[in-house]
Amino acid sequence: MREKIILICEECLSRNYTTTKNKVNSNTRLEIKKYCPKCNKYTIHKETK
């Protein structure tokens, strides 16, 4: 079953994106390099708790 997660910018700590993740197959936190509109550049976005 897939669950919703929120991605947060590592630099400015703004919550920019929501996505889904399969909790059964991946138990580590998701890290994706995405565009942050507040920082105006590509930064690493991590999964929140």
Which of 14-40 are b and which e, b meaning 16 or more Cβ less than 10 Å from the residue's Cβ? Answer: eebeeeeeeeeeeeeeeeeeeebeeee
- Closest to 47 measured CA to CA, from 1, 21, 12: 21
Provide the whole-model pTM: 0.83
Q: pLDDT digits over 1-32, tens only? A: 889 999 999 999 999 999 999 988 888 999 99
Q: Between 3.40.50.1860, 1.10.3720.10, 2.20.28.120, 3.40.190.80, what CATH number should domain 2-47 receive?
A: 2.20.28.120
Residue 46 reports pLDDT greater than 90: yes
C-beta separation of 23 from 3 below 8 A: yes
Residue extents of the structural domains in the chain? 2-47
Query: Which pLDDT score, from 0 to 100, does residue 13 have?
Result: 93
